[in-house]
């Protein structure tokens, strides 16, 4: 039955195989490797599953999939590729949780390493430890771990990481290869700013421990390095005492200038909010969505009439953490921080919930969409960093002109500020030059036949920003040519290239990013 299944799958996707060419690794050689039992080759469930990702926009079939039982299997695989033992060096891509949207964790004709297999084999544990000399706690976590598991494991010690993503079912290695951003970034920096040390298998097959002090070049290269320099097998993460509850507030604006001024004011308060984000509400992007169902049914109808009145509403979202000790004072503190905010009078919505419920707020929406088949649809997302000096023009040219006027958008649109000083310029990630810049996320979902319409709109947005000189940078970047990548990295391109030849000279790692091919 299995063979019959594979045969059917093979004939279904064989036209695809012919489009992308024959696998460059001869299968018969793979069978002789001493990691052969952990490889899945040919057209199988494994190669098909790893040929796609959350984006559902591209499909690239690997020649084989490795399910490592330990990091030594990964080292062996990378060494085989380096030594040309099988054929020419073949691509190797770590697949964290496959939540990229443009094939970044794919390895066309090469090998995909399913990182979660380390977890299944009980290799990568999450350990909370005490640094006795300097007097702080940290967590040692496998690169394959999901942030939700890191949260639960650290909470057992009353601790938690300080910097998060909005959604926690992402792998540590996957987000550290990008940056890992959310409403906490203005305060604690992105997740890459909260790493003390890593174990990395370089593209040369060497296992190296690195930090700011030791092998620092590799450390800075890997953080935000789009998987180009090494596979993260362990990361030492900053943790702090975890709060138990949060005060969660949303307020509305019809004026973008007032909205952004207030966001910037909130992120400038010392010891102020713990999280500040913002989003757009329009007919196409209603108050509640998969990212968060915050508003009660009765409030939703009021909000919808407000949206009809203004066409677009900007929603500022802020959170203050607290625990039993400050339960009596937190409301006063919140009031003080919110004094002078210029939101639409009477449009304030509050929630009081647990820290875990707040951090894991996207999960219920995901499960809802999964249950009706709407999670596994194409996601032509566009994520941008917009300098503060360009954000007003961005609102007029992109939010009002392209998005609102064209009325094609389907999905949440996020916009919130963060500060450059919390980012380390020695890391590979690219951000705007200004002290304050905005994170903008256009989180579209679409049908299988119409995602190109939204992708066209994304291109229009990028072209508009270029023409208007808005100096934006893509987050989770995706480009089609080397020139475009060079332009993205700007003055960092030279060092990015140097680091590639130092740590992955045969250009083996993360070929799905398409930077060096």
- Which residues are marked as active site? 99, 166, 277
Q: Which candidate, 510, 418, 509, places its Cα nearest to that of 181?
A: 418
Residues in contact with 237: Cβ distance below 8 Å, sequence separation at least 6, in sequence order: 138, 139, 140, 141, 150, 161, 172, 191, 194, 195, 196
Should residue 166 be labelled a site residue for ligand FAD when binding is judged by CB under 6 A?
A: yes
Q: Which listed residue (67, 250, 510, 514) binds ligand FAD by CB under 6 A?
A: 510
* Residues forming a β-bridge with 241: 159
Should residue 81 be labelled a site residue for ligand FAD when binding is judged by CB under 6 A?
A: no
CB 141 within 8 A of CB 151: no
Name the token pair of 114.
Answer: 């399913």
CB 108 within 8 A of CB 66: no
Should residue 472 be labelled a site residue for ligand FAD when binding is judged by CB under 6 A?
A: no
CB 140 within 8 A of CB 234: yes
Helices (H), 185-342: 185-188, 216-222, 256-268, 297-310, 330-338
3-state class of 241 per DSSP?
strand
Q: How far is the CB of 380 from ligand FAD (least distance, A)?
A: 12
- Tell the residue number behind the tokens 């190296």, with chain if given: 208
Q: Which listed residue (25, 61, 93, 150) binds ligand FAD by CB under 6 A?
A: 93
Should residue 202 be labelled a site residue for ligand FAD when binding is judged by CB under 6 A?
A: no
Should residue 165 be labelled a site residue for ligand FAD when binding is judged by CB under 6 A?
A: yes
Residue 195 or 334: the one with the smaller Cβ distance to ligand FAD is 195
Name the token pair of 290.
Answer: 């998969």
Residue 23 or 124: the one with the smaller Cβ distance to ligand FAD is 124
Should residue 105 be labelled a site residue for ligand FAD when binding is judged by CB under 6 A?
A: yes
What is the footprint of ligand FAD within residues 218-257 (CB under 6 A)? 226-227, 231-232
Should residue 115 be labelled a site residue for ligand FAD when binding is judged by CB under 6 A?
A: yes
Should residue 151 be labelled a site residue for ligand FAD when binding is judged by CB under 6 A?
A: no
Total interface residues for ligand FAD by CB under 6 A: 36
Should residue 428 be labelled a site residue for ligand FAD when binding is judged by CB under 6 A?
A: no
Q: Which listed residue (109, 175, 260, 418) binds ligand FAD by CB under 6 A?
A: 175
Number of H helices, E strands in the chain: 19, 18
Backbone phi and psi for residue 164, each to the nearest 5 degrees, phi listed first: -130, 170
Q: How far is the CB of 189 from ligand FAD (least distance, A)?
A: 12
d(CA 81, CA 511): 13
Should residue 181 be labelled a site residue for ligand FAD when binding is judged by CB under 6 A?
A: yes
Laid out side by side, the sheet with 382-387 consists of 348-354, 245-253, 313-322, 275-281, 413-419, 436-442, 382-387, 473-475
d(CA 255, CA 400): 12
Should residue 476 be labelled a site residue for ligand FAD when binding is judged by CB under 6 A?
A: yes
CB 52 within 8 A of CB 100: no
CB 428 within 8 A of CB 496: yes
Should residue 60 be labelled a site residue for ligand FAD when binding is judged by CB under 6 A?
A: no
Should residue 437 be labelled a site residue for ligand FAD when binding is judged by CB under 6 A?
A: no
Residue 53 or 397: the one with the smaller Cβ distance to ligand FAD is 53
Q: How far is the CB of 11 from ligand FAD (least distance, A)?
A: 28
Should residue 94 be labelled a site residue for ligand FAD when binding is judged by CB under 6 A?
A: yes
Q: How far is the CB of 170 from ligand FAD (least distance, A)?
A: 4
Should residue 96 be labelled a site residue for ligand FAD when binding is judged by CB under 6 A?
A: yes
Should residue 95 be labelled a site residue for ligand FAD when binding is judged by CB under 6 A?
A: yes
Should residue 178 be labelled a site residue for ligand FAD when binding is judged by CB under 6 A?
A: yes
What region, left, alpha or beta, does residue 285 occupy, with left being phi > 0 and alpha being psi -120 to 50 degrees? Answer: beta
- Tell the residue number behind the tokens 């921080």, with chain if given: 337
Q: Which listed residue (23, 40, 50, 54) binds ligand FAD by CB under 6 A?
A: 54
Name the token pair of 166.
Answer: 């909005």
Q: Which listed residue (147, 167, 295, 385) binds ligand FAD by CB under 6 A?
A: 167
Should residue 47 be labelled a site residue for ligand FAD when binding is judged by CB under 6 A?
A: no
Backbone phi and psi for residue 292, each to the nearest 5 degrees, phi listed first: -170, 125
Q: How far is the CB of 199 from ligand FAD (least distance, A)?
A: 10
Binding segment (CB under 6 A) for ligand FAD, from list 169-177, 203-211, 386-394, 417-425: 169-177
Element containing residue 210 per DSSP (H, E): strand 207-211
Residue 118 or 338: the one with the smaller Cβ distance to ligand FAD is 118
- Footprint on this chain of ligand FAD (rule: CB under 6 A): 53-54, 93-100, 104-105, 115, 143, 165-167, 170-171, 173-175, 177-182, 226-227, 231-232, 476, 510, 512-513
């Amino acid at each position: 039955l299995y063979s019959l299944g594979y045969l059917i799958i093979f004939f279904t996707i064989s036209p695809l195989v012919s489009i992308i060419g024959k696998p460059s690794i001869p299968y018969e050689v793979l069978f002789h490797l001493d990691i052969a039992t952990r490889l899945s080759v040919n057209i199988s469930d494994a190669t098909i599953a790893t040929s796609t990702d959350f984006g559902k926009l591209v499909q690239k079939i690997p020649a084989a999939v490795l399910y490592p039982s330990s990091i030594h299997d990964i080292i062996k695989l990378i060494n085989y590729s380096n030594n040309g033992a099988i054929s020419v060096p073949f691509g190797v891509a770590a697949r964290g949780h496959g939540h990229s949207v443009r094939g970044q964790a794919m390895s066309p004709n090469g090998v995909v390493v399913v990182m979660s297999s380390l977890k299944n084999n009980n290799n990568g544990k999450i350990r909370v430890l005490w640094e006795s000399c300097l007097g702080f706690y940290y967590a040692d976590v496998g690169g394959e771990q999901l942030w939700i598991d890191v949260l639960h494991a650290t909470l057992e010690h009353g601790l938690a990481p300080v910097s998060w993503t909005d959604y926690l079912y992402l792998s540590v290695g996957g987000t550290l290869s990008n940056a890992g951003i959310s409403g906490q970034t203005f305060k604690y920096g992105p997740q890459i700013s909260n790493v003390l040390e890593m174990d990395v298998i370089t593209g040369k097959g060497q296992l190296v421990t690195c930090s700011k002090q030791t092998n620092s070049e590799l450390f800075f290269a890997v953080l935000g390095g789009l998987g180009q320099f090494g596979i993260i097998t362990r990361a030492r993460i900053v943790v702090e005492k975890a709060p138990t509850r949060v005060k969660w507030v949303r307020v509305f604006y019809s004026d973008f200038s007032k909205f952004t001024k207030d966001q910037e004011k909130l992120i400038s308060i010392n010891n102020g909010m713990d999280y500040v984000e913002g989003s757009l509400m329009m007919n196409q992007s209603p108050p509640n969505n998969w990212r968060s169902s915050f508003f009660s049914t009765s409030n939703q109808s009021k909000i919808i009439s407000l949206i009809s009145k203004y066409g677009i509403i900007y929603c500022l979202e802020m959170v203050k953490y607290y625990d039993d000790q400050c339960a009596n004072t937190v409301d006063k503190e919140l009031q003080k921080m919110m004094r002078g905010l210029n939101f639409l009078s009477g449009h304030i919505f509050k929630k009081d919930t647990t820290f875990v419920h707040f951090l894991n707020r996207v999960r219920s929406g995901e499960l809802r969409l999964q249950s009706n088949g709407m999670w596994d649809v194409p996601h032509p997302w566009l994520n941008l960093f917009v300098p503060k000096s360009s954000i007003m023009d961005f609102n007029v040219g992109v939010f009002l002109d392209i998005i609102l006027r064209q009325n094609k958008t389907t999905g949440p649109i996020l916009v919130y500020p963060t500060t450059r000083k919390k980012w380390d310029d020695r890391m590979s990630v690219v951000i705007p030059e200004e002290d304050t810049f905005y994170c903008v996320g256009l989180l579209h979902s679409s049908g299988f036949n119409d995602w190109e319409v939204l992708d066209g709109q994304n291109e229009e947005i990028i072209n508009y920003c270029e023409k208007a000189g808005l100096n934006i940078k893509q987050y989770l970047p995706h480009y089609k040519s080397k020139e475009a990548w060079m332009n993205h990295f700007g003055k960092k391109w030279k060092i990015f290239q140097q680091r590639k030849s130092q740590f992955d000279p045969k250009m083996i790692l993360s070929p799905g990013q398409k930077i060096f091919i």
